[in-house]
Chains A and B, each alone.
Chain A
Amino acid sequence: MRHVASPVLRRLVDEPLAVPDRDRRHLAECEHCQANSTEIAGDAALATRTLSAPAQITDVDLEWVLLQDRLRPDAPRRGDLRRPRRMPRRMVSVSVGAGTAAAVGVVAVGVAAAAALTTVYAPTHVAPVPVSSSDLRAVQAITHIGTGQLADGLPPSGSRQLAFGNLSWSTSGQPQQVGSIAAARALTHLALPAPATLPAGVGAASTVMVQPQVTVTVHFSQSAGAGVGGSTLQITGGPAIAVRYGGWPGGGNVTTLAIVAAQRPLATSTGASASQLETFLLTQAGLPSGLTEELRLLGNPSSVLPVPVPSGMRVLKTQVGGAQALLLTDPTAFASGVIWESHAGVVYGVGGLLDREDVLNVARQVG
C-alpha cells in the first residue's frame, strides 16, 4: 500500500479540496499517514504562530504619503525619512497651566503637520515636547491666541490675521452636553467604553461633553516666503468626547478624573512642499530656538503627535492597548495623566488627582 506523500498531507492542512479523494480515503485508514499528518499539521501551526503578522499593523494613508514624498526628485536620501525612534533629549522645568500647554499643542501639531508633507499629516503615535513658560508666551505671540481665550473656549468659528497670513477655524456644530458616554459614542462614532472599575473617591461621571470636528485653515499670504506664499494648510481634528468625574467628599466641584477621546488630527496642504512648510514654520521670528530644536528632534513629524510637557512634569514611556503612551506625573505625585493614540487613530487622554497606577488602570479599561 502506497502512503500519502508529505507534500500532499501538507496541502491537506491548507487546501483540503485540492487533495484527491483516494488520498483522503487512505489517510482515514492508515495510522502511519495519520501520525505523519499530525506532525505536519503541528509544524504548520508552529510556523503560523511564529511568522504571521497581526491583522492591522499599518496605516496605508500615511504610508502612501511617505512614499509620495520619497518619490519626489528633491526627496532626502534613503534613511532620512525613517520613523522616529528616539525620545527628545530635554525634559525641562517651570510650572504652567494645562490650558496653556494645549495652546502649544495646537501650534505644535500645526508645525508637525506642515513639516509632514505637501498633502497629509496623519500621526500614528505620541511623543513628548518639553515646553517652558517662555516657549508658551512666544507661541501665543505668533498665533495671537492666549491662554485665557482657550480656557474660556473659542467661538465656533473665527479668524486671526497673522504676520504671514490668515488663520481661521470653524466647527461642524456646537459643543453639547449629553446624558451618557453611550450617547456620546453614538454621536461621534468614537470607541470609548465607560470604565467598569474606578479608583476609590473618584465618584460618578458628572459631565459628558461632545465636541464636533474642528477645521483650522491657514492661508499664507503671497509675501509669506518662497514656496509657501499663496498656499493653504488645513488641519482637521475631532470629533471628541470629554468625560468629567467629580465627587470627592467635601471636594465640591473638584474634577477628580477626566477622560478624553478624539479623532486624530489630519492635515492637507496645497501648493507648498513639506520641506518648504517645515522650514518656514520653524524659522518664524520669535519661535524659541530650544522649542524649534525639540520639534526637529521628533524626527519625521508626519507620523508624530507632539504632546507639550510643562517643565517639572515627569514623563515615562509606557504602553496602553499595545500603543505607545506617555505617562505624565506632577512633581508632587498628586496628579497624573496618560495620553496615547490607538492603532485605530483615536487619541485618548486620562488624567486626574490620582497616582499613576490608578490612572493607568483606568486607561487600560478605555484603550
Chain B
Amino acid sequence: MSQSTKQLQARPRGVSQWALAWRRLKKNKTAIAGLAIVGAFVVMAAFDRLVALYPPKCIVGISPECPSPAFISNGPPSLSHPFGTDITGYDVYSEIVYGARAAFLIGLGATGLAILIAVLIGLVAGNFGGWIDNLLMRVTEVFLVIPFFLLLLVFLQVVLKFSPASTGGLWIVVFVIGAFSWPGAARIIRGEVLKVREFEFIGASRQIGASSSRILFRHLFPNVLHIIIVLLTLQIATSILTEAAVSFLGFGAPGSNTWGQQMYTSSNFIAQAWWATLFPALFVTIMVMGFNLLGNGLRDALDPRLRE
C-alpha cells in the first residue's frame, strides 16, 4: 500500500488546464496590463476612504467634515484638488474614488444577471434541442433584434418615474441592464454546448446511465466554463459603458454616485469646468479598457484553438 503511494508521488503530477491557461495569460503583456488596471480599481473601491482626499459628498470649505481649504465652486485642478471641484464644491477626485464601488456594483451585478440567464438558456437549449431549443432561440432572437439601448432608456424612464428616487435606484438600473444583456452570450453558449454534446465522453456517460441533470452540470457546464468566463469579463466592460451612457443622457438613478451620474450633473458646465466632466469619463474609459484587455487575454489563454 505505502509502496504504491510512493510510486504515485514520485511521478510528476500533470498540470491542469487552468494552470496552462494561467501560464499563457502571464505571457500576454496586454492581458497583464488589463489585470493590473482591474486590480488597481479593486484596491480603490475597497479602501476608498483611504484613497480619497475628502469624505464622500463633502462640500469642501463648508461641510463640517472638511472645513479646509476654502470653498470653491468649479475650481480648476490644484494641489488641494488634483482634479478640481465641481459646481457644488465637491472634490472631483474624491467623488471619482467613491464612484469606483458603484462601477463594480453595476459591472458585476448586471453581468451576473445577464450571464446567469444566458447560461441557463444556452445550456437548456443546447442540451435538449428540439422544440425547447426552437422556442428559446426564437425568444433570444426577439431580444437580439430589439433596439436594446433605446428600450433601456424607455424602461428606466418608466420605472424611475414611478419608483421614488430615494433608495434602490441604482439596483433598478443594474437589473434592467442585466435583463437585456443576455441574448448574445446565450447564443454563443448554446453553440458551444451543441459542439461539446457530440463529444464521445458525453455519449459514454449517457450509456452508463448518467442522469440528464448530471450530464448538464457535471459534464457540459465545466466544458463551456472557459467561454463563460470570457463572456463575463467582456460583459462587465459593456455594462459599465452602458450605465455611463445612460446616466450621461439623464436616465440614470438620480441619487446614485456613479461616474455617469457625475458627468451628467457636470456636463452643463463644460465650458467653465471641463475637469468635472472629463475626469469621470476618463475613469470610465480606463476601467472599461482594463476589463476589455483582460477579457481578450483570457480568450486567447483559455481557447488555444484560436491561436492554432
Chain B binds chain A: no
